[in-house]
Amino acid sequence: MKKTFLAAGLLSLLSTTAMAQTVGVSMALFDDNFLTVLRNGLIEKADAMEGVEIQVEDAQNDVAKQLDQINNFVASGVDAIIVNPVDTSATQAMTAAAEAAGVPLVYVNRQPINVDTLPDNQAFVASNEVESGTLETFEICKNLRAAGKGAGARAYIMMGELSNQAAVQRTKDIEDVLATDMCSFIEVVDQQTALWSRDEAQNLMTNWLSSGEPFDALIANNDEMAIGALQAMKAAGIDMDSVEVGGVDATADALAAMAAGELDVTVFQNAAGQGAGALDAALKLAAGEDVDQKVYIPFELVTPANLADYTTKN
């Protein structure tokens, strides 16, 4: 009886060891507030799971470095790979490398250019970017109308990296909203990329302010750029009540700016939820299970009216 119990225990231990899974994770950039929340969500999810290890690498916004990381993950024998792509137009090579090795791959947060032709053992987990810029811009449009600026309002648009699908889609969202009858009264003064960066946005906003062009709104593709623009506006002595400022992501810094009466609109993108969802999908694919190839986690509009609901989410 004792021998049987010990044997059973040994088999159980061997089974647990055999079931242990390793997932390689390549993040576009560690030094990004939103992606840090996503990365932490992945790590926390893995820490809470028995027999799951993740190896997280920083691609440092370098496409070639990221592809090398994918190839290294394949060579090291990981059970699955998760990629937050640096350049969403360069994902075909990553897909091909993982497919050739038979290693499941999940893209997270940024939509790969080949999302509609992914192999059966690859998937994409994110939020639908059609919602992000749309929610942001409609709210700014509504606020401008409520402020009595229903004719001749003027706005600047800050775009993310133009190689990134999210930047392209969020900008299209803005343009589509401004083309509607409800919001066509808003004129775009200028639109330029600030590369998702707070510092770049501060410099760009400073340049715009130096032109002396009047404006009523700043619509940014993400919160980091909105915050950078706010810093430039405050340095120039602009009354924050006189301009609408919007971003996307509902980062902790953005929510603090909203609480301070500076940021008017943001859109909650569940970074931790995306990270956890990507890990779930990767592990299921590694186990040979079927998953939906496109998993969307809804965006949610955040304004001063519902700010308290989001202060504990990021």
More confident residue, 237 or 150: 237
Residue 314 has pLDDT above 90, yes or no: no
Q: Average pLDDT, whole number, for the chain?
A: 92
Residue 185 has pLDDT above 70, yes or no: yes
CATH of range 129-268; options 3.40.50.2300, 3.10.180.10, 3.40.309.10, 3.40.630.40? 3.40.50.2300
Indicate the pLDDT class of residue 20, thresholds 50, 70 and 90: confident
Query: What pLDDT sits at residue 312?
Result: 76
Residue 10 has pLDDT above 90, yes or no: no
Judge whether 155 and 188 are in contact, CB under 8 Å.
Answer: yes
Hey, is 27 helix, strand or coil?
A: strand
Indicate the pLDDT class of residue 4, thresholds 50, 70 and 90: very low
Residue 6 has pLDDT above 60, yes or no: no
Query: Stretch 84-100: mean pLDDT, rounded?
Result: 96
Query: What pLDDT sits at residue 1?
Result: 31
pLDDT in tens, 116-130: 999 999 999 999 999
For CATH 3.40.50.2300, list the domain ranges present in the chain.
2-126+270-296, 129-268
Query: Stretch 219-237: mean pLDDT, rounded?
Result: 98
Query: What pLDDT sits at residue 168?
Result: 95
Judge whether 77 and 53 are in contact, CB under 8 Å.
Answer: no
Q: Which of 89, 247, 243 is nearest to 159 (CA)?
A: 247
pLDDT in tens, 137-184: 999 999 999 999 878 899 999 999 998 889 999 999 999 999 999 999
Query: Stretch 279-301: mean pLDDT, rounded?
Result: 95
> Residue 195: which region, alpha, beta or left (left: phi > 0; alpha: psi -120 to 50)?
left
The position carrying tokens 């060579």 is: 75
Strand arrangement of the beta sheet that strand 105-108 belongs to:
52-58, 21-27, 80-83, 105-108, 122-126, 294-296
Which of 11-15, 178-182, 186-190 is the least confident region?
A: 11-15
Query: What pLDDT sits at residue 311?
Result: 86
Give the DSSP letter of residue 84: -
Query: What pLDDT sits at residue 163?
Result: 87
Q: What is the pTM of this model?
A: 0.79
Residue 95 has pLDDT above 90, yes or no: yes
The neighbour count for residue 196, using CB atoms within 10 Å, is 29
Determine the CATH number of domain 2-126+270-296.
3.40.50.2300
Query: What pLDDT sits at residue 19?
Result: 57
Q: How far is CA 127 from CA 30, 36, 158, 221, 274, in A?
A: 20, 17, 20, 14, 8
Query: What pLDDT sits at residue 33?
Result: 85
